[in-house]
Amino acid sequence: MEKSLSLPQEMQQHTYSIMYEVEGTHWWFVGRRRIIGSFVEKICRELGDSTRPRILDVGCGTGANLELLGKYGDAEGVDVSEEALAFCRARGLENVKLGEAEKLPYEDNSFDLVTGLDVVEHLDDDVAGLSEMRRVLKPNGRALLFVPAFMFLWGVQDDISHHRRRYTIPGLRRVVEAAGLEVERTTYANISFFAPILAGRSLMKVTGLKPASENNINVSALNGVLGRILGAESFFLRRMNFPFGVSALCVARRIE
C-alpha cells in the first residue's frame, strides 16, 4: 500500500521544484493565499486568546502557505517529502518536521488551528488523516481545509499530483464529520475561473494534450490581474457561500 501523501521521488522533484518557482507569483497561488488568509484571520479572531495561536500546516509543501500562516500565529509545518522541507528551509522556515498525515509527529491537544490546504485529496484514507488533525487540535480548536472540487474537473494537475479524488461539499462534510469534527462552514471557492478551467481541461481531454504541469500554462503578464480577480473572492466569501467552484473549503471545530 502506498503511503499517504507519498509520491514517487522523481514526481516529487518535478512537482515541488515547479511549485517553488511559481507559487510566489502565479495567479492561482496568489489569489488562493488571499482567500486562505481571510479565513485564517477570522478563525484566529474567533479563538479569542490573547496569545498567538499555535498553527500546524499539514502537507506544508515548499512553504509559501506556511509563510502566510506565520502572520497570524506561531506556524509549524509537516510534510512527507524531505525535498519539500528543504525548500521550506530555503525560505528560512525552520519549524518543520518530516511526517505523514495519518501519523502526525505531535502530541495530543497541541494546536489551535490545523490547516490542510490542497492536501486531503492526496490521502488514501482521508478520514484517518482528518482524525489525526482532530487529535492534535486543542478542544475548540479549528481545522481549515481547502480541497479540489468536482470529479468532472479532473485534469492533468490531478494526475501529476497523484490526487485520489476531488470533493463535493456533501462529500467533504461526510468525511470531516466521520473524523469526529463538527462542521462550522462549507463553501466552494474559485467561481471566477470555473468556466475557463472546465473548458481548458475538457479540451485537454479531447486533444490528449498533457503538459508537464498546468502551472506552466500561464501568461505571466496577466498574473497580477488574475490573482486580484481570484483574491477578490475573499470579500464575497466573508458574506456568502458560493454554489460551485473549482475548490471547496471547510471550517470545522473540535468540540471535545
CATH for 216:
3.40.50.150
pLDDT bucket at 5, cuts 50 / 70 / 90: very low
Q: Is residue 207 part of a domain?
A: yes
Q: Is residue 2 part of a domain?
A: no
Q: Is residue 241 part of a domain?
A: yes
Q: Is residue 40 part of a domain?
A: yes
Q: Is residue 47 part of a domain?
A: yes
Q: Looking up cell 470555473, which residue turns up?
A: 194
Whole-model pTM: value is: 0.90
Q: Of 256, 43, 5, which Cα lies nearest the Cα of 137?
A: 256
Domain total of the chain:
1
Q: Is residue 215 part of a domain?
A: yes
Quote the CA–CA distance of 183 and 211 in Å, as a whole number: 37
For the chain, give the percent of residues with pLDDT over 90: 74
The residue range of the domain holding 105 is 9-253
Q: Is residue 60 part of a domain?
A: yes
Q: Is residue 34 part of a domain?
A: yes
Least confidently predicted of 3-7, 20-24, 72-76, 140-144: 3-7
